[in-house]
Amino acid sequence: MPLVKVETHINAGIQTCFDLARNVDFYQNSIKNSREIAIDGKITGLVEANDSITWEAKHLGFVRHITLKVTEFDNPNLFVDEMVHGNFKAYKHEHIFREDNNKTIMIDKFYFESPWGIIGKMIDGLFMKKYMINILKTRNSILKAQAEKKQI
């Protein structure tokens, strides 16, 4: 199963970063290009342990739906969301936060696997891994800017 790992250094406190990362409203606004909207479950506010969210998004020209559940939660260090229904064969996103001298290191570990057997594996290696890295880096740069702005 492919792993995408993105590390972001943020000049802001760990709680600020953790809360932004689990804020449904912030997430929707940070990824407007894919028009992701929460349509069921926890559709606003901060996600907590065992919350589920169904997202509708347009990726690669197709409208897709995915339902995620928060399966692990340790405020302000970690939360994990996993797919319970959607287009992937497998999907798990670990959001990890570490404090370092009043700054935060935010680590995304995103495990995924496309369906379709060997064709899916080829798509993952040739395209999807890079696509997911770009999504995470874009979102994280917006989160970093917002968190650092709050520290001023």
Residue 34's pLDDT is what? 62
Domain around 135: 3-150
Rounded CA separation 86/63 (Å): 12
Q: Work out how many domains the chain is built from and give that number.
A: 1
Residue 145's pLDDT is what? 96
Residue 1's pLDDT is what? 84
Please report, for the domain that includes residue 65, its CATH number.
Answer: 3.30.530.20
Along the 152 residues of the chain, how does pLDDT read in single tens digits? 899 999 999 999 999 999 999 999 999 887 766 678 999 999 999 999 999 999 998 877 889 999 999 999 999 999 999 999 999 999 999 999 999 998 999 999 999 999 989 999 999 999 999 999 999 999 999 999 999 997 75
pTM given for the model: 0.93
